[in-house]
Structure 1
Amino acid sequence: MISQLSWKIGGQQGEGVESTDRIFSTALNRLGYYLYGYRHFSSRIKGGHTNNKIRISTAPIRAISDDLDILVAFDQESIDLNAKELRPGGVIVADAKFSPTVPEGVDARLFAVPITAMAEELGTSLMKNMVASGASWALLGLPLEVFNKAVEEEFGRKGPAIVEKNVEAVRRGAEFVLEQAGGPLEEFRLEAADGKMKLFMIGNEAMGLGSLAAGCRLMSAYPITPASEIMEYLIKKLPKFGGTVVQTEDEIAAVTMAIGANYAGVRTMTASAGPGLSLMMEAIGLAGMTETPLVIIDTQRGGPSTGLPTKQEQSDINALIYGTHGEIPKVVIAPSTIEECFYDMIEAFNVAETYQVPVIVATDLQLSLGKQSCEPLDYERIVIERGKLAREELPPLEQHTLFKRYEFAEDGISPRVLPGAKNGIHHVTGVEHDQEGRPSESAVNRKKMMDKRLGKLSGLRVANAIKADAPHAEPELLIVAMGSTGGTIDEARGRLSGDGVATNHVTVRQLHPFPSELLAPHMKSAKKVVVLENNATGQLANLIKLNIGGHDKIENVLKYDGTPFLPSEIVKACKELR
């Protein structure tokens, strides 16, 4: 028996690949397995090759695997593109309709199943995904009743007749392939899981849930890949808590609406990707100048321009930090796990209101859309902090004076008041202003206001600004990264350790203001620093050089072909850099 296995399904977009993956993984989650998924999909509604890969394990995992055990193919293209990943002795379950063949040089066992024909016998070719699922599930020797329960959950709203037909499709696929194979494949029989169903979600859902838990009651946004699932999640959830989602006409409207709602006292957020973030830049400057709390999620994807909207990249780092004109205080946080996606959203809202600044939460496509098992969330950790928001009656104003909304407070953070509060009237403007908000071009006032705003974040460190796994006092290599790469790096480090290479690992979670004093000691103790990132210009490495130095130690490992790092790629790169 084996402790982990990798399964992939491929076909044309729009023919059921996504729903097959969803039901298959839901059933595995019911059995208590740990799962980690990766979606490869085209930037179109229908057509174009797509595949979903799931790694299944009896222990926690946070990376896709180098190889593949079972490939389910709805067309020959899926075999041609993905069969190279199959390990020797791997399995292909393919639709007999297209007379599948195994590419030359691939050591795999082919099961040609009349997937489409069986589905059509039941009334519609749409059920071919259930035939295929039943076939691959049966080869693993897993109980069909668990899979059928997942089918009932997926199609139950369509009525018992539809559920019954899909269950029958699963049965036919299972029986056919078992007859061909002579029973379940013993080499692919998984060890039993712990039986505990785990949270199983994508990063976008975790951030949506985190926003809800943080007290967010309005999301204003425009749909864009890979951020749209946040909207879709909150459209269903926010109304249950007295909130709503507003789909705006564009990202400029989305961010300005969020600024207005936050000014009025409602915790509000928006979410987008690189192109949308570009459109928001002027408004982010407005939030900085008016010292209005603002939370933005940026789900990084392949750029520039439309680029690769459905592919992995981490190339917005410079834009996140330096994109706005002029100089304002802002915070950029980069979660690296599903759990962090949840907790970081709560911290983002608290930091935004405490310091009255824009806070950007930056993920990447793999973390945003890769579905994976998640440890139980601790709701006792949720604390709401609203900063210097006036809650009691304000003292009367002197004649001809206004509320000092932008007062030169000792800590740089001025008192904040909601519109309509008695004795709280003040000006709000995007031009430079005095303590009452009145426009001012005084050189003395300008310098004091700039110093006040920019000094607010002095010493700010979010929870776990860096996340270090540093077992070695003087490692041969220190691997530094951000976002979704953490689990892949840790898996690679296990292999490197077996080959006698001592490594430490730091994930940078606070990109701005940069936590130099936390990272510098780790860099100092290492012989070499490997900065690993999904972009072409080494943006994270350059950020480290700017804030810490270490040019002579730093080596770049870059991948910018639209796909995530594999453990084997990191192992190879690190060995070459020793």
Structure 2
Amino acid sequence: MISQLSWKIGGQQGEGVESTDRIFSTALNRLGYYLYGYRHFSSRIKGGHTNNKIRISTSPMRAISDDLDILVAFDQETIDLNVHELRPGGVVVADAKFNPTLPEGVNARLFPVPITAIAEELGTSLMKNMVASGASWALLGLPMEVFNKAVEEEFGRKGPAVVEKNIDAVARGANFVLELAGGPLKEFQLAPADGKQKLFMIGNDAIGLGALAAGCRFMPAYPITPASEIMEYLIKRLPKFGGTVIQTEDEIAAVTMAIGANYGGVRSLTASAGPGLSLMMEAIGLAGMTETPVVIVDTQRGGPSTGLPTKQEQSDLNAMVYGTHGEIPKVVIAPSTIEECFYDMIEAFNIADQYQVPVIVMTDLQLSLGKQSSETLDYNKIVIDRGNIATDLPALEDGKLFKRYELTENGISPRVIPGEKGGLHHVTGVEHDETGRPSESPINRKNMMDKRLNKLNDVHTKLTNAVKVDAPHSEPDLLIIGMGSTGGTIDEARLRLSQDGITTNHATVRLIHPFPANLLAPYVEKAKKVIVIENNATGQLTDQIKLHVGHAAKISSMLKYDGTPFLPSEVHNQCKELK
């Protein structure tokens, strides 16, 4: 028996690739396996090659596999584009309709199955995804009743007749391929899973759930890949808790509505990708000047302009840190796991309220859309902190205003919710005095700038693991630094490097701004060499480290910006060369 296996299905977008993957992986999750998914899809509604890859394991892992065991192909293009990933002895289950062939020299077995023909016999070619998934499930020798249960859950709302037809499609696909192969393939028999209950979700769902748990009750947003699933998740759930989602006319309206709602005391967020973040920049400056909390999620994708809207990249870091005109306090945090997507949203809202600043939660396409196993979330960890909200204020004297922007020792002024008696004040985007009245006094200007910019001095203490470190070695050969979705890939590469006799430590930077130099510096100083792994062309995280930590001479970048995530073998090979 084997401890892990990699499975991929591909075809034209709109052929049912996504639903096949969903049912297949759901059934595996029911058995208790750990899963990590990668979705390659075109930036159009229908047509264009798409594939979904699932890595199945008996133990936790957070990386795409280098190779592939089973490929399910709805067309020849899928074989041609993906066959190079097949390990020797791998399997291709292909629709016999297109007379599939394997390229010369490929060491793999081909099982042509009349996938479309079987589906059409049952009344519709739409069921070919069930035929294909049944065939590949059968080769693994896994219990069919578990798979049928997943089918029932997927199609149950359409009635028992539809469920029965789809289960029949699964059975026919399974029976056909088992006859071809002579039974389940022994070399692909997975060891039993631990059977423990696990969550299985995409990062965007975890972000939406985290926002809900944080007390968010309003989300204005404009749809954009790869952020739309956050909006779609909350559309279904916020109304159950007295909240709502509004689809705005653009991202400018979305962020200004979110700022307005937060000013009114309602926790609100908006979510977008790079192009939308660009449109939000002036309003983010308004939130900084008026010291209004707001949470913004940026799910990074390939840029610039429309770029690669459905592909992986981590190139918005500089935009998030430097994008606004003028200088304002803001916080940029970067979750690196599904669990952190959930917990970090709660901390993002708390930080936004405590420091009265915009907080940008930075994810990337792979983390946002890659479906992964997650440990059960601990709701007892949730703590809501609304910060310095003033209540029970004394009555104002005639002509006096509340000092909403009062100069305080820590720079954080008392905040009032509109309607609070004794809390009357001005709110404006121009420079202002303590009551919010416009002021161009040089002395006032300096005082207000210092007040705003100095209040984030201890923010690194508010985010759990601002720099998450695994450092078993006091003076490692390599310190590997990453952010976002690269963490699992780095960890897997480190296992291979240890087999090569190379010692490594690993740091994931989770607080991007203000940069936690004091937390990262000791590990950079002790390492012989440092390599920074990031999905962009200019080394934006590397530049932040060099700027704030120093030691530029021993810091190198490993950059990938072709639209695909890093593979463990890529990180391993380049780190080995650097050593």
Which bin holds the TM-score, normalised by the shorter protein?
over 0.9
Counterpart residue identity of residue 570, structure 1? V
1:169 maps to 169
1:513 aligns with 2:518: no
In 2: Cα distance, 1:457 partner to 1:393 partner:
27
What are the superposed Cα offsets for residues 506-550 of structure 1, whole Å, 9 maximum, x if unpaired? 000000000001111100001100011000000000011111111
1:125 aligns with 2:122: no
2:11 maps to 11
2:328 maps to 328
Identity %: 81
2:426 maps to 427
Counterpart residue identity of residue 122, structure 1? L
In 1: Cα distance, 2:19 partner to 2:163 partner:
14
In 2: Cα distance, 1:103 partner to 1:467 partner:
45
Counterpart residue identity of residue 411, structure 1? N
1:134 aligns with 2:170: no
Q: How much has 1:196 moved relative to structure 2? A: 2.1
In 2: Cα distance, 1:158 partner to 1:307 partner:
38
Q: How does 1:237-252 map to 2 (within 5 A)?
A: 237-252=237-252
1:466 maps to 467
What are the superposed Cα offsets for residues 255-312 of structure 1, whole Å, 9 maximum, x if unpaired? 0000000000000000000000000000000000000001000000000000000000
2:387 counterpart SS class? coil
Q: In terms of mean alpha carbon deviation, does 115-124 or 97-106 score higher?
A: 97-106
Q: How much has 1:410 moved relative to structure 2? A: 1.4
1:257 aligns with 2:251: no
Q: How much has 1:109 moved relative to structure 2? A: 0.2
Q: Note the residue ranges of structure 1 that are not aligned, 5 or more in a row.
A: none
1:312 counterpart SS class? coil
2:366 counterpart SS class? helix
RMSD (CA atoms): 0.5
1:286 aligns with 2:286: yes
Q: How does 1:96-135 map to 2 (within 5 A)?
A: 96-135=96-135
Q: In terms of mean alpha carbon deviation, does 94-103 or 458-467 score higher?
A: 458-467
Q: How much has 1:420 moved relative to structure 2? A: 1.1
In 2: Cα distance, 1:196 partner to 1:107 partner:
36
2:160 maps to 160
2:445 maps to 446
Q: How much has 1:359 moved relative to structure 2? A: 0.3
1:221 maps to 221
Q: How much has 1:106 moved relative to structure 2? A: 1.3
In 1: Cα distance, 2:105 partner to 2:225 partner:
37
In 1: Cα distance, 2:195 partner to 2:533 partner:
36
In 2: Cα distance, 1:360 partner to 1:407 partner:
25
Hey, which bits of structure 1, 4+ residues long, moved more than 6 A? none
Q: How much has 1:459 moved relative to structure 2? A: 2.3
1:93 aligns with 2:101: no
In 2: Cα distance, 1:249 partner to 1:90 partner:
49
Q: How much has 1:433 moved relative to structure 2? A: 0.4
In 2: Cα distance, 1:372 partner to 1:172 partner:
29
2:229 counterpart SS class? helix
In 1: Cα distance, 2:571 partner to 2:151 partner:
38
What are the superposed Cα offsets for residues 403-440 of structure 1, whole Å, 9 maximum, x if unpaired? 11000111110000011111111100000001110000
1:560 maps to 561
1:418 maps to 417
The answer (yes or no) to whether the contact 2:197–2:376 under 8 Å persists in 1 is no
1:65 aligns with 2:52: no
In 2: Cα distance, 1:387 partner to 1:571 partner:
45
Counterpart residue identity of residue 533, structure 2? L
2:574 maps to 573
Counterpart residue identity of residue 381, structure 2? R
In 2: Cα distance, 1:105 partner to 1:166 partner:
37
Counterpart residue identity of residue 146, structure 1? V
1:239 counterpart SS class? helix
1:552 counterpart SS class? helix
1:21 maps to 21
1:348 maps to 348
In 2: Cα distance, 1:528 partner to 1:499 partner:
16
1:211 aligns with 2:211: yes
In 2: Cα distance, 1:195 partner to 1:433 partner:
60
2:553 counterpart SS class? coil
Q: How much has 1:197 moved relative to structure 2? A: 2.8
1:315 maps to 315
Counterpart residue identity of residue 260, structure 2? G
1:367 aligns with 2:357: no
Q: How much has 1:344 moved relative to structure 2? A: 0.2
In 1: Cα distance, 2:197 partner to 2:329 partner:
43
1:404 maps to 403
1:81 counterpart SS class? helix
1:299 counterpart SS class? strand
In 2: Cα distance, 1:258 partner to 1:87 partner:
49
1:216 counterpart SS class? coil
In 1: Cα distance, 2:457 partner to 2:357 partner:
13
In 1: Cα distance, 2:527 partner to 2:407 partner:
43
Q: How much has 1:104 moved relative to structure 2? A: 1.6
1:502 maps to 503
In 1: Cα distance, 2:111 partner to 2:459 partner:
58
In 2: Cα distance, 1:22 partner to 1:472 partner:
41
1:491 aligns with 2:492: yes
The answer (yes or no) to whether the contact 2:73–2:93 under 8 Å persists in 1 is yes
The answer (yes or no) to whether the contact 2:210–2:341 under 8 Å persists in 1 is yes
Q: How much has 1:576 moved relative to structure 2? A: 1.0
Q: How much has 1:103 moved relative to structure 2? A: 1.1
The count of residues paired between Structure 1 and Structure 2 equals 577
1:546 maps to 547
2:246 counterpart SS class? strand
In 2: Cα distance, 1:458 partner to 1:137 partner:
54
1:437 maps to 436
In 1: Cα distance, 2:313 partner to 2:348 partner:
23
What are the superposed Cα offsets for residues 304-352 of structure 1, whole Å, 9 maximum, x if unpaired? 0000000000000000000000000000000000000000000000000
Q: In terms of mean alpha carbon deviation, does 68-77 or 196-205 score higher?
A: 196-205
The answer (yes or no) to whether the contact 2:268–2:294 under 8 Å persists in 1 is yes
Counterpart residue identity of residue 235, structure 1? I
1:299 maps to 299
2:56 maps to 56
In 2: Cα distance, 1:50 partner to 1:397 partner:
64
What are the superposed Cα offsets for residues 73-101 of structure 1, whole Å, 9 maximum, x if unpaired? 00000000000000000000000000000
Counterpart residue identity of residue 437, structure 1? G
2:82 maps to 82
2:410 counterpart SS class? coil
Q: How much has 1:32 moved relative to structure 2? A: 0.5
1:147 counterpart SS class? helix
In 1: Cα distance, 2:437 partner to 2:507 partner:
46
Counterpart residue identity of residue 460, structure 1? V
Q: How much has 1:445 moved relative to structure 2? A: 0.4
Counterpart residue identity of residue 299, structure 1? T
What are the superposed Cα offsets for residues 143-182 of structure 1, whole Å, 9 maximum, x if unpaired? 1111000000000000101000000000000000000000
1:40 maps to 40
Counterpart residue identity of residue 471, structure 2? A
Counterpart residue identity of residue 287, structure 2? A
1:181 maps to 181
Q: How much has 1:105 moved relative to structure 2? A: 2.1
In 2: Cα distance, 1:324 partner to 1:215 partner:
27
What are the superposed Cα offsets for residues 487-515 of structure 1, whole Å, 9 maximum, x if unpaired? 00000000000010111100000000000
Name the TM-score, length of structure 2 as normaliser: 0.99
1:481 aligns with 2:498: no
